[in-house]
A and B are shown apart, each in its own frame.
Chain A
């Protein structure tokens, strides 16, 4: 059963068939999936969804597959956590973490988009899948390709964290590291996609792939009892997820699953790579590309393909955006870990730090509900925080040694365990 009518250019409106196409031949605008919302509205209901398995496919009417899901049967439906302790630290009364750092199977939001892209690749009959990636996408494509028995090539910039390189290699793809940054990888992959007949999840399957990002938004709404938060903070790299969360909220209203789609959306970037935030603050529609220079490698994209749509979604929602320094990002990674027990990568640190800044600026009122979208896992980027955490104390296996150490650690306030700053 399908509710997909075809593809349409977001810029000039030209129609295209349901094929592995991603850009409009006339204006190069991105293609977007068109659904039959009237039929979906008749078919879908909160009760129906509640009876389904806890994966992103519980919203399948609003996803662009024609047959049954072929991949990612356990992906999505990540926890939405009421963050009391982080909320107290940031001064927010009702704060939630949408925790995609524990997404199945590769611990980032990318398992959402890849589940849809691989399902679609199988529907189209491809035998090889590929991607241009800052790391997380490569991990996810490699894992899903292994499970589906497809050939896999992943392209990454050189110098990525070990966790992200090995986190792909273990699944047996061919990994190609390109000299240069992600924007260079992107350019090359666009040309490779043209030449080789592969399913490039974020190139020729992009219209389908990107739809998977909506499920992050669907889940936030369902987990809040089919209501939206007043504010949501999301990191922006190439600009896929933020506009898709906005689209998800609109669709939920359109098909009658929620009553009110008002929610202010905020973009978060690292100051070392903030082309979208710079354009937002200048009031510009056109995004000037930048050369990335930040520890947040997964959001180090200086030429964001969908940056324009991020600006549009942020403005339409009444939200805003901010950027934060690498130091603020590191602090925020530790703050999230030490208040909520969640270890995120620098992209997640960026979101927490930006939320703190927006609350301090008064952009986000302290007494309204806020969701922070945590998109990736800190265990993949250990190098980034390795030097800013306490090193283990080495002692002999002798109780007296420990007694001495304990006394030392607790000298200023006896009886209280020292907070582990190092």
Chain B
């Protein structure tokens, strides 16, 4: 499965400044692993030491928060779009 991943500013020093990269894998966890093979060190920025997505990182597949799907086990199909987005403030 080949998907496109949007990379937020804080992670672009891993991707040589690229704001979008391709990655391969059947689910989100495999995509993170694949990103880490291409861009060593990027996984520990997205996931904590227990392997879970960090508290202030939101991951979306085609605009849907993976916490509404199957988290890191969310399965993917060719051409899916993944966004990695820091949490932001708002409301009231």
Contacts and interface: CB of A to CB of B under 8 A. Distances in A.
Given A187-B63, A191-B83, A194-B9, A298 B88 contact: no
A131 B10 CA distance: 20
Given A187-B60, A301-B91, A28 B19 contact: no
A106 interface: no
Interface stretch (A18-26, A60-68, A319-327, A332-340): A18-26
B56 A209 contact: no
B10 A187 contact: no
A134 B92 contact: yes
Contacts of A306: 87, 89
Nearest to A26: B45
B8 interface: yes
Nearest to A286: B55
B91 A298 contact: yes
Contacts of A347: 92
B47 to A, nearest CB: 11
B4 interface: no
A117 to B, nearest CB: 11
Interface string B52-92: 00111110100101011000000000000001011111111
B58 to A, nearest CB: 7
Contact of B90 (A22, A238, A289): A238
A286 B68 CA distance: 14
A9 to B, nearest CB: 10
Contact of A190 (B55, B63, B85): B85
A235 interface: yes
Interface stretch (A178-186, A259-267, A392-400, A405-413): A178-186
Given A28-B45, A28-B54, A23 B90 contact: no
Given A26-B45, A191-B83, A289-B65, A301 B90 contact: yes
Contacts of B67: 288-289
Which of A202, A241, A305 neighbours the largest number of chain B CB atoms within 10 Å of its CB? A305
Interface residues of A, number: 57
B10 A28 contact: yes
B91 A238 contact: yes
B8 A194 contact: yes
Nearest to A209: B89
B63 A184 contact: yes
A119 interface: no
A187 B6 CA distance: 12
Interface string B30-55: 00000000000000010000000011
Contacts of B91: 134, 137, 182, 237-238, 240, 298-301, 304
A133 interface: yes
A28 B46 CA distance: 8
A108 B92 contact: yes
Given A23-B56, A191-B6, A288-B67, A206 B85 contact: no
A-B CB proximity, top 3 nearest:
A237-B91, A305-B87, A28-B56
Interface of B: 6, 8-10, 13, 19, 45, 54-58, 60, 63, 65, 67-68, 83, 85-92
Given A305-B89, A347-B92, 11 more contacts: A11-B55, A28-B87, A134-B92, A137-B91, A187-B85, A190-B85, A238-B91, A238-B92, A240-B92, A291-B68, A300-B91
18 contacts: A24-B10, A27-B45, A28-B87, A131-B90, A136-B92, A182-B90, A184-B63, A191-B6, A191-B8, A191-B85, A203-B88, A206-B88, A206-B89, A237-B92, A238-B88, A240-B91, A303-B65, A305-B56
